[in-house]
Structure 1
């Protein structure tokens, strides 16, 4: 998150009242009062400069604790899709491993083994052709994972262009995605100098990517198509298979290969459990990589995402760094280096604690609650819900028509598409 530097002198000078009574003296807004060192303490510390002298740990805790009390409660935050609770044993594991650095594989071999297990679990869950050929990594979240997936597609496109003796600069690479894409997808295009081709979404497309319209934006310079499994705005699954079929046809007609990266930030931990018949993952050969968020429906604490490639062939070797200075040879593909190990550990805890049945139960409960809220909102007469989670598949043509009395435990009869 970017933060602008504040000049406290300028800020306070511009914000001061002009008191009529000059004998009235107020507190200095550039300082924080802290009466925690003593019952009647009146000293303060600067807000925007490091204090010349410190304070004891208990006083520092109380000072910061009191300020943070003004934050909202994470349990009430429905805007950022973050898991906010885990069982006490998981929290204990996190606390025990706060100081571990995930990148130091020699020093923490079992942590690295747990990381590898998580990648394998996801590769199997998403039907990688051969789990021992799939490759993946933990990230700080699904945003970093999306960017890594896009970067791999860009590099492979460059390699194909060079092999064909074509320029990689004129007119340059582009990537196709729906206009409903989350900001991380657009960040990839801007940060890594790829033209972002946004496909307009409409009522008819259910506010998601329309594969036929997407094909109007595809050409020989398209590095790939981002397809979203669980739109940020409405929760819709975009039609991955339809997009794949059209790209198959396009390649047959033109010879131009365009892969798919599935942004399953939300759906990656929902679809396998609640909609197992849906074809969206590595079952489709054109899907070369998938990302998900562990700290959303993966039910881990914040700070964990994942990206998995169907095989090593889709992760260019020159993007992988070979490291020697931590001991033995280590391999890394990430946008940073040091990172905490505890998010990976909390993810593994949820995987072994909940198992398939547990994740399915949570997914079905979440979808049931979503249907309840959607129906209740529409029955007020004040809202039309744009998502279709509460609508029966056979009734999709009836706009805003609410169907009740269906099997709530069978999400296959409800619409997610």
Structure 2
């Protein structure tokens, strides 16, 4: 151990390949210890915390969540079975957990569905409680203390509704960390309203998982927070986010040209993400540079922002993939959430049908079309979804559509669905 230095190779981790060929990222011991020390310096975690880790340990996000307890000294419980997350929360009662946005989107959608099935009185109480919670959350975001009346109303809402919901997450959560993809700000605010803070962070495999995070005492929905100590950020002329700091990779394994393209002579890492830093230093991510496209009308579209918003609106969708490069209008592929749509189908005359049969039924299409209309009402004309098709299969990790951290492999899905996409552009 004495012979191991901070500049020596610690990990060779391959990127998820969401936008192309996976690349081997060479990370040193110094990069990992820097990331852990930078998070420790935020003073948000301590020896009394219990971390529930379900993320793949071959993934950078999972590795840093494992490095933290070794550096800071708190307990971590590990179980990688995604289907057991909710059960484990109830058993373990953790204080912190990191997850991909899809976990929070599914939890939000599931609870909203359960409420919709309750009596009118219970729905009214829940609706009133959420309005109170959102007002208090908005006051916190604006740096104001809630009024005495709002504080008293929130206390009642918490006793009637919010405390019960928090118990479903173990009852002791101080905050969740969301990373690996963008989280809809409305979902984040919903959690904040019920008393659970979801802190969005940002990083890549090439930055030893993390470079930015919101703080429990200073967070802003729709952003990934402030940079870690000693991490520098710069926005290039084309909007690309550039990072420099001790957590960067040394190179891509056996890919010198790709390394030169990503790491410039001044030590800046070109992330491939488009974003902006606001007046208070919070970083907002727009999209992956490679995912943004221009329609045949010359209008730029950031598909990820549209997709994230739709997943916050529609409880029955797993993924939305927006397409429209060099085309006159945008179209979309819709992947349904198996559990949610099966529950809906059982109540709407489709009990016992296969997933493919439910996906192809006109009643399902009408359901999804209503949410597409809601989405379009929030978009610019050139961003609106003019046509869509519902896939007859659920996107999954096993089929290669999603990464182990539940990120969409866009190119894989688009290539598999080439015929359906072509049909959407036929008159």
TM-score, normalization by structure 2: 0.36
Structure with greater strand percent: 2
Higher Cα radius of gyration: 1
Larger relative contact order (CA 8 Å, sep ≥ 6): 1
